[in-house]
Structures are given as structure tokens and as C-alpha cells.
A and B are shown apart, each in its own frame.
Chain A
Amino acid sequence: MHQIDPSSARLHALFVCCITDRPGHALAPWWGWPEVWAANLKRFICAAIAFAGAAASSTAAPISLQNPSFDSVFQTYKGGYPGTVSLAAVSLSAGGYCAANFGDGVFLTGIGFTSMWFDQSRETGTLHVSTYFGAASGWRGTGERDAVGYQALGWNYLALKPGASTADFSGYTVGDSVIDQLTEATIQADTLYTLSYLLGTRNATPPHTAGYLQGTAQRLTPEAASHPTPGNGNWAAQTLVFDTSRAENSALVGEPLTVGFSGGPGTSLLFDDVTLDASPLPDPSTLAPVITSVSPATGSTEGGMRVTLSGTHFLPGVTVKFGNQPATGVTRIDSTRLSVLTPAGSLGAVNVIALNPNTLSGALSGGYRYVPPAPVLPAQMRGISTSDTLLQADLFALLAQTDANVIRLGFSVDSPNPSPPTAQNPLAPYTANLATLDAALPLARAAGLKIVLCAAETHGWSPALFQGSAAELAIYREHLATFWTAIARRYLNEPAIVAYDLLNEPATDYFSQGAWYDNVLPAAIAAVRRVNPSIWLMVESEYWGQAGNFADMPLINDPYVIYSFHMYAPASFTSQGIANYIGYTATYPGPN
């Protein structure tokens, strides 16, 4: 049983107005039925109020109230579209109605399907999924079908629409505003109300929907807050904080509390996952800071790294120590985040301590680890890219005629006939190429040339490694990690090698996105770091590392990372006459 702390009564209500409850994903086109939301909204809020009211006299943790009619609501929606289509059920192989994840199997059961749309842009339905149906011919007919199997090839949301025309969205109107009353609750004194919800937008116009708290007639004034605007078709989490100790709000104490959402004319209300949290304002003199994390959690013994401390109760004037050394440049972002510069320190882990002006302190034991300084990179690196067998004296002779200061070295298994790796010698497949590299290192040192060693076609690599099974990818991931751990050991004290480019041109595609960043890359980073905590790591972007794919590049939680891409655009120009570009004769600059 859940119980509620009367001093911290929380009200959680789930509003289901769209088929997803996942932030950051596109909305499906059910935005257009405000009257349905309004009805459901009212029901949920009433349910939530009744719950909170009943529990207000008992004590303990927050509760979460789920919409009890979630499933049936969607059945209604799905069956309620104008036209003759009748959809009996939608199921996902992964379960759940809403989130047809990338690659999930989606099964529709019903009759009267004439065409079907996967709708990313929602309003125009520009993505006609019939293109992607495995059995297109049988599927596009107008006859009745009992069940249709469909694989969601990357779009997250499923929209079913009768008729074959993109213009056939009539009958879906957009509401202007919805306000619902929470008449059973009253505004409490000296209380912090936190209203959180997901805000959606359905067109390029900034959303006008906003949540608010209101008394009898007047709205509470929120604290200044940033309100991230969701991109078109996406959700963004919004949080509004209302402090009833503020003069302009204290006048409303005791009035009935309303939670409302308003939309401007012509906008639809798109919100979900609404939570209202009421907690008494704490007494600042009793607050001890709590540090929950430090990011990045490692850095150079030289100090001077900017790191973010997360936690709670960081009061204005808070100071920070790493071990015994005070951090400088302390910037209090808010009560939960501090940005500080690390002091110099000794190798190893230290406690991170925050001290509030009220003399209360909190420590994160071993919260920061000092590692050796990274190799000093040239202020800017300008050089060449080449590969293992070509690292010969003639190349150094050529570069000696220039001011080039770096060689990026693609490194692969010996060719032909690499030896298989063994437990004793995981680098056996690279015997000849390592000999070439070892012979070249004195030349590189003498010339002041830095080497970025890049894993290219290493043991287990194949051109389609990201297109195979998860099990095959896991095997490659282990091979690559083994390679990096062994290389990091071998060259731990080699000054000429300054960075490891963890994988050349990660060959992910639309269907395997994330397989590099989320799967193989973390293992490769860990493989180097368990041996060498501070050599520079280089991370190429997905989609073969080609230019234009940095939108999804993750920020790696490590102080020594170089982010990398390859520039061959446009390929029809740079690669004309070879491979896929035979016959191309583009010139540069091109017509424009």
C-alpha cells in the first residue's frame, strides 16, 4: 500500500492524450480530439484528487496514479476514425500500444484496411508505409484482411488512416483551450508546488500550451524557469515551480487550487504525464548539501578541469573541496547543480565535499579520480591519414619536407593470412603490422610527428558487422575491446602515440543506428581506460563517420576525447570515376 506524507502530499495524474508517453519521440496524429481529452482529463484529475484526498491523513512515499482505462481509450481511438476501417487490435512484438520502436514487429488485426500510414510528420502523413511492406501487393488491396504483419522500419509511431489521400484528415479539429478544476484542493502556505508535464508540439509554430496553477481567479506566479521547446512533433519535459511564500502568491493561500493547461487560439493542447508535487518549503539553516554525482568523474592531476556536481541543497555561497583542496570557479547553477574547476591533486580517488554557508556539509566518497595528464597535443593537428603497411621511411621523408605534425594510422590485421589471436597473444593477427609500426616510432619521435592509432579492419571486423545479428555484434565488440586493451598495454609509455581512434568509419546505417554509440563504443572506451586512463580517445560519428552526422554525436563522459568525422562530400565529386561514381564528371565549385 502506498501512503502519503501529509507534509508532502503529491498528486500524480497521467493524462493520455496521445499514443505515446515517451519524451523525445514523435507524436502520433491523435492530437486532434480535444473533447476526448477534456473528458478524460476531467476523469483523471478527479480520480487523482479523490486519491490524494483520501490519503492525506496517512504518511509516506509519493504515489503514482495510472489511468485505469488506458487500454480502452485507445481501442476507442483506433476504432473511432471516420471511414470504414475497423481495427480490432494493435500489438507489438515488444508489447504495449504506443511505442513502436525501431525494428519492432507491429501486428494489426481488423478489416477494411485500404492503406496505412506511418506518420512521422503527422500533419501531412508524408511517409507512405506501403513502400515498406514486405507483402505490398496483398496489403494494398481493399479486401478484408484478418491480420497483417508489419515491421516498423524505424518510425516510432503508428497511425492508421482510412482512404488513400493525404488530404483525408478532415474531421479532426483542434481545440483552443482546456481548463479543468481541482476544486477539492486548496493552496497551502509556505509550499513549493512543482508542476511537471510533457509538452508536445505538432507544427513548426512554437507551442502555446502552458500549464498553470490558479486560485479562485488569479494564477500563481511561477519561479523563473527555462521552458525547452520541443521540436516539431516531439515532446519536451516542462517544469514549473510555484513558491507560495512569495508575496504575490501568499495572497492566494487557502483558495481552491486549479491545475490548468491553456492553449492559444488555433493551437492544440498537447500534454502528458502531469505531476503536481507539493512540499513544504525547507528551512535553509537545516539543509545539508548532498552530492550524488560528479561529471566527468575523472581528470588530470594538474587540475583546472571544469566539472559538474549534481545533488541537492546546494545553497548560495556553497564551497567545494576535492580531498583537502578547495575548488575554484564555483558557479552555482541551481540548488541541484554546481560547476567548479578542479584543483590540482595526486593520483587516485578523492572525496568531493560540498560545504553550505550554514556549515553543513556533504561528501561523495571517492567521487573524483585524478589520473595522469593526457598527452599534450599540438595546439592544432594538421597532417595526413594513412594505413599500417605504408608507415615507411619514404613517407617520413615526404613529410619531412612539410610541417605536418600528425599521422592518423588506420590499423588492420596482417594481410594476407593473419595469425589467429591467442589468449597469450591477442595481437598475433597484427604481428607484421606491429613490427612496421615499432620500426616507425623512432622516426615519428625524431620528426615530432604524433600518431593517432585507428582500429580499421581489426580481428573480427567485417564490412557489414553492424548489419548482422546482436550475437555477432557482441562477438566483434569483444574482439575490438581485446584489441584495444592489448594495444593500450603495449604502447602505454609511447610518447609518439597520442590518441586512439576507436573505430574507423563505424558502418552503421538507418537500421542499426545506436549500435556504435550505445553498444560497441562504450566497451572500446572501457577497454582502453582500464589500462590507460588518460590517452586521448577519438570517436567517429555513425554512418561511416561521414560529414553531416554529428547531430546525434553523444558527449562522452571522459575528459580526453576528440570527436571526429570524415569529409568526402559530395562523393559524386570527390570520388568520381571509382566505385559507385563511375561516369561522374562533377566539377567544383558546382552550379548553384
Chain B
Amino acid sequence: MQTEINFSLAHPDKRIMVGEFGALRWADGADRWLNDCIELFEEYGWDWCNHSPSGWNGYNVTYSPDRENWQATAPDGGMRGAAWRILHEGFQLNGRDEYGIPNGWKARHFGAATGAKTEALDDWDADGMNNLDEYRAGTIPASAASRFQIVDFRIQSGGSHSLQWTSVAGKRYTIQGSANLAEGFADSGAKQIIATPPLNTHVIPADPAPSLYYRVVVEP
């Protein structure tokens, strides 16, 4: 799979699907092979389709791994082997927690979808942004260096304001402003700003009078 890995690394914006993968259920170690495949696919964020829990019993892990019994024609419901459990756990990466964070996203960043500091409101990397906020902002929840923040603000000659923040590919941003924090923030008119990673810079014109306070919002 080295050529696929090379392609994936060279073209991180391209989506890759392993359209089929599977091992005959009686192959000694099929469960480990399946597990290693899924781990590798997950490491590179590839889509994957197991071939196949449907149809001929050879590659069908809903059947028992018993080689002697491989011509059985009915699923052995109670006897499904480790390979099925591995596949089932793989599918669980499609699930989400109550805040909508995909299990797969947690597994990719934390090594597992459950465990200490993996909950939505935990802050795995202790960078001040909880896991949910990192998920929404598209930043890396396991890197304190990766967080959504305004990194530069300056008042330019002529009175316009320049804002700079860390941005992530595919996200869009709204700038909200306020002249009086007690009154809260309102949209400044700058919406649907496309990310230009790693930083976005946006200038708010001097006319009409710019705000005193700003915040940048990741659009849902």
C-alpha cells in the first residue's frame, strides 16, 4: 500500500476509499489482518468497505471462522468470530457522542474514542480550547499549538482595523463586532470568509466607524 500512502500524503485534499478489503475467514490470523488494515486506513483517514458481510461465506465474517465448516450456508449468528467484532468496532467509529463529535475523529486524535480526557468538554491538550471547540474549529485537539485564536490586531493608518486569526481549510468565518460589550456582539457584515490557512487576515474599513471589540466565529 506504499503507493497509496504516498499518494495520500502528497494529496491530502484528495479523498481515498478502499473500495474492498477482506480475507477469507478461515485464513489463520484473518482477524488481526482485518484489524491492522482498519487501523492503517484510519491512520490516513481513508474511507473503507469490507468485502463482504453479504454474500458468499468465504469472505463473509458474519460466518464462523471454522475452516472445516466453510461451506455452511447460513450465518452462524451466535458463533461469529473475532473478525466480525473487529469490523463491528470499526463501524462504531462512524458513531458520534452526544455533542455530535464523531468517534472516528476522537480515535484518530486520541488513539481511542473513549477514555480519560476524550469527552467533548474535556481539554485533551490543555490549550484552553475543549475538544468540542477544537472539533468545531477544525484544529488539532491533541496539539496545544493548534488552536483557534486571533493572533494579530492592528489599527491601520486611515482608521481601518486589521484582524488576523488562525484558520483551517474548509472552514468559513464571521467577524462580529461590538462598541459596548454590555450590549453584546453583532455581525459586522464580514461573513462567509473562506479560510486561507494557516492564517486569515481581514480588514474592516474605517467607514462606517469600526467596532471597539471583535470576535471571529467559526460558521457551523
Contact = CB atoms under 8 A, between A and B. Distances in A.
A551 B1 CA distance: 10
Contacts of A573: 23, 27, 29, 33
B184 interface: no
B50 interface: yes
A324 interface: no
Interface string A304-345: 101000000000000000000000110000000000010110
B218 interface: no
B217 interface: no
A279 B52 CA distance: 63
Nearest to A549: B3
Contact of B1 (A377, A547, A589): A547
A373 interface: no
A324 to B, nearest CB: 15
Interface residues of B, number: 59
A564 B16 contact: yes
B49 A587 contact: no
Nearest to A387: B55
Nearest to B7: A550
A402 interface: yes
Nearest to A330: B196
B81 interface: no
A377 B17 CA distance: 12
- Contact residues of B: prevailing secondary structure: mixed
Interface residues of A, number: 64
B122 to A, nearest CB: 20
A334 B49 CA distance: 42
A408 B1 contact: no
Nearest to A406: B49
Contacts of A382: 47-49, 90-91, 93-94, 104
A475 interface: no
Interface string A546-582: 0111110101000001111111110001111110000
Given A380-B104, A385-B49, A566-B18, A574 B2 contact: no
B20 A385 contact: yes
Given A329-B196, A379-B105, A408 B28 contact: no
B50 A384 contact: yes
Given A587-B29, A588-B27, A588-B28, A381 B54 contact: no
Given A377-B15, A386-B55, A408 B20 contact: yes
B173 to A, nearest CB: 11
A177 B54 CA distance: 66
A306 B26 CA distance: 47
Given A385-B49, A386-B52, A574-B33, A341 B19 contact: no
B95 interface: yes
Contacts of B94: 378, 380, 382, 403-405
Contacts of A405: 91, 94
Counting chain B CB atoms within 10 Å of each CB, the highest count among A384, A454, A540 belongs to: A384
A393 to B, nearest CB: 12
Interface in B169-196: 170, 172, 192-196
B58 A578 contact: yes
Contacts of A217: none
Given A378-B94, A577-B24, A390 B47 contact: no
Contacts of A304: 170, 172, 194-195
B54 A384 contact: yes
Contact of B26 (A385, A398, A454, A577): A577
A254 to B, nearest CB: 46
Contacts of A341: 194, 196
A287 B53 CA distance: 63
Given A390-B54, A398-B54, A563 B47 contact: no
A563 B7 CA distance: 10
Interface in B1-57: 1-4, 6-7, 11, 13-24, 26-30, 32-33, 37, 45-55
B108 to A, nearest CB: 9
Interface string A519-559: 00000000000000000001010000101111101010000
A406 B98 CA distance: 22
Contacts of A406: 47, 49
A64 interface: no
B139 interface: no
A256 interface: no
B29 A403 contact: no
Given A381-B47, A385-B51, A574 B24 contact: yes
Nearest to A536: B15
A160 B100 CA distance: 67
A23 interface: no
Nearest to B169: A306
A380 B11 CA distance: 17
Contacts of B21: 566-568
B194 A329 contact: yes
A380 B19 contact: no
B130 interface: no
B93 A381 contact: no
A263 interface: no
17 contacts: A304-B195, A341-B196, A379-B102, A380-B93, A381-B17, A382-B94, A384-B49, A385-B19, A501-B19, A547-B1, A563-B7, A563-B15, A568-B23, A569-B1, A575-B24, A588-B29, A588-B33
